[in-house]
């Protein structure tokens, strides 16, 4: 009879309960080894780093340098894109369109020479444009000696040329804060150029307002289409953040299709505007290329700069676009979404192996005759890692979003479609200006100015109601947030500038 027994039955008869215990322990140990092998989290550990590594490589091949996985992960959450103007929306290579002389007391060549010499010390793109214009007009590289040079961000410059000419170059507020009078004709001339998207600056030499310079910077041809894609297809809020005056900023915004603008923002305040947007619950991307954009680039959730920009901006940014093309902003966001989507797929693959494989490896299906050997579990574990890596490598097939070259430029936005907000506090500006004016008024008038200024109503930044305060023949006007200081002193004849 024993000859017809199986080995297991023979072992059980001769060894009894010891044989059964040995079989149980053997089975449990085998299942434990199998579970340990198939549950190894190699695939889960590879899911994210492999996708990020391939994604950053693909980005670089497409001209998008992404500094690490954190920037890549945050970029797919962006719902607000803030653009600087000069060098971002525009090419950042401004040129002088108009050099209008406002006085007959000095030859034009002398004015150009003095202005060109003063701007030779400026690092601002507009200053460079004026300096280049002067050299081209005078056909010389020689500049006068400059001393006491001072640049005030967002306002203008002040210096002494050839040790005898006191020079001021800048915007309206810079001139008025230094006690100069801007006539209605000059203001209207500046406004005309600003409505064309140009930047208008004034020149004062030895206390005489003698020139108005209109500087233009060509818009990038893809700007309007990129803004349209960000707003309509990606659902992002787009904001223009610039130090330019409100008229120029509004003209640029209308042309490219941006509905919200922060104008006249000092470089030191750009980061504050980004924080305001973040406080409103937005995930903000800041796009800029200048030194003055660096604080905002660091403050934003994702800072985006260009290789063609300054080294400081490129260092501060999380993403650097190797090509000076705004379309790559859309590509960076799209690539980020593709990488994060691939990471999620990888986690699904890795988890699926464990969800399905662990119960089988644990012996749950042994009663129906189905089980895994340890070597099978090891092979399944290796296969899960291979599948995750293969999934990540599929990112190499990524292509940038297609921009239709035949896309037709849309119509400009209407005046009332663009919301303009100023970056300066109205009351602070008036207080500074009146303080300078009061120094030039007689002692008797000083008290009147102080009393009347104290009676001015509180005005919050951004209010659009027209505010007019007339103080001793001086008109302080802020209409629809256009904060101009028109100084009509005593007699019109005294305030007129030679044209």
- The predicted-structure confidence for 40-54, as pLDDT tens digits, reads as follows 666 778 888 999 999
Residues of the chain with CATH 3.40.1110.10: 94-217
The answer to which of 58-62, 201-205, 219-223, 408-412 has the lowest mean pLDDT is: 408-412
Asked if 211 and 222 count as a contact pair (C-beta separation under 8 A), the reply is: no
When the pLDDT of each residue in the chain is averaged and rounded to a whole number, the result is 79
Beta bridge partners of 157: 151, 169
Nearest partner of 288 among 276, 279, 280, 274, judged by Cα: 274
Instruction: Give the confidence band of 483 by pLDDT, cuts at 50, 70, 90.
Output: very low
Checking if the pLDDT of 469 tops 70, the result is no
> Would you list the DSSP string of 340-356?
HHHHHHHHHHHHHHHHH
**Catalytic residue ranges:** 84
The pLDDT tens digits of the residues spanning 243-254 come to 888 888 999 999
Comparing 29 with 334, the larger pLDDT belongs to 334
Checking if the pLDDT of 168 tops 90, the result is yes
What is the Cβ-side half-sphere exposure of residue 350, based on CA atoms within 13 angstroms?
23
pLDDT at 347: 86
The pLDDT tens digits of the residues spanning 172-185 come to 989 999 999 999 99
pLDDT at 188: 93
For the domain 94-217, what is the CATH code?
A: 3.40.1110.10
Residues of the chain with CATH 3.40.50.1000: 71-89+220-322
Checking if the pLDDT of 484 tops 90, the result is no
pLDDT at 61: 93
pLDDT at 413: 87
For the domain 71-89+220-322, what is the CATH code?
A: 3.40.50.1000
Taking the C-alpha atoms of residue 115 and residue 134, their distance in angstroms, rounded to an integer, is 8
Taking the C-alpha atoms of residue 294 and residue 288, their distance in angstroms, rounded to an integer, is 8
What stretches of 120-260 show up as alpha helix (H) in DSSP? Answer: 125-138, 172-177, 184-194, 223-232, 246-256
pLDDT at 101: 94
pLDDT at 412: 84
Comparing 81 with 33, the larger pLDDT belongs to 81
């Amino acid at each position: 009879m024993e000859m017809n027994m199986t080995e297991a039955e023979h072992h059980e008869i001769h060894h009894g309960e010891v044989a059964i215990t040995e079989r149980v322990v053997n089975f449990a140990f085998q299942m434990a080894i199998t579970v340990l092998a198939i549950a190894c989290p190699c695939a889960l550990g590879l899911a994210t780093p492999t996708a990020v590594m391939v994604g950053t490589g693909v980005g670089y091949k497409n001209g998008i340098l992404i500094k690490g996985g954190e920037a890549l992960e945050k970029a797919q959450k962006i719902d607000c894109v803030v653009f600087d103007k000069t060098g971002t929306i525009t090419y950042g290579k401004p040129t002088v369109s108009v050099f209008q002389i406002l006085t007959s007391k000095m030859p034009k060549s002398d004015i150009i020479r003095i202005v060109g010499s003063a701007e030779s010390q400026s690092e601002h793109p507009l200053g460079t444009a004026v300096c280049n214009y002067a050299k081209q007009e005078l056909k010389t590289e020689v500049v006068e000696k400059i001393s006491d040079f001072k640049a005030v961000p967002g306002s203008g410059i002040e210096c002494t040329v050839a040790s005898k000419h006191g020079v001021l170059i800048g915007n309206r507020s810079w001139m008025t804060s230094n006690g100069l009078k801007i006539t209605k004709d000059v203001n209207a001339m500046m406004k005309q150029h600003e409505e064309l998207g140009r930047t208008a600056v004034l020149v004062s030499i030895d206390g005489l307002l003698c020139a108005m310079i209109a500087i233009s910077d060509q818009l990038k041809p893809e700007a309007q289409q990129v803004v349209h894609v960000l707003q309509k297809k990606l659902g992002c809020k787009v904001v223009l953040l610039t130090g330019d005056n409100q008229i120029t900023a509004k003209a640029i915004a209308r042309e490219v299709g941006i509905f919200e603008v922060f104008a006249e923002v000092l470089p030191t305040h750009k980061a504050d505007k980004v924080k305001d947007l973040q406080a409103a619950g937005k995930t903000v991307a800041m796009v800029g290329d200048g030194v003055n954009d660096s604080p905002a680039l660091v403050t934003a959730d994702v800072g985006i700069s260009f290789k063609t920009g300054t080294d400081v901006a490129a260092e501060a940014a999380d993403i650097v676009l190797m090509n000076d093309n705004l379309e790559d902003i859309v590509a960076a966001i799209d690539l980020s979404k593709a990488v994060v989507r691939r990471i999620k797929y990888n986690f699904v693959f890795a988890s699926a192996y464990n969800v399905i494989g662990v119960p089988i490896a644990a012996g749950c299906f042994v009663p129906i005759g189905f089980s895994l050997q340890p070597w099978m579990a090891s092979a399944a574990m290796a296969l899960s890692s291979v599948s995750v890596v293969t999934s990540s490598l599929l990112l190499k097939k990524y292509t940038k979003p297609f921009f239709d070259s035949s896309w037709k430029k849309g119509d400009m936005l209407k005046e009332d479609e663009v919301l303009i907000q100023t970056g300066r506090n109205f009351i602070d500006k008036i207080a500074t200006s009146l303080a300078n004016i009061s120094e030039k008024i007689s002692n008797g008038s000083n008290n009147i100015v102080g009393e009347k200024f104290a009676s001015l109503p509180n005005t919050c930044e951004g209010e659009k109601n027209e505010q007019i305060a007339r103080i001793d023949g001086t008109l302080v006007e802020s209409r629809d947030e256009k904060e101009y200081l028109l100084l009509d002193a005593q007699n019109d004849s005294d305030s007129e500038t030679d044209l």
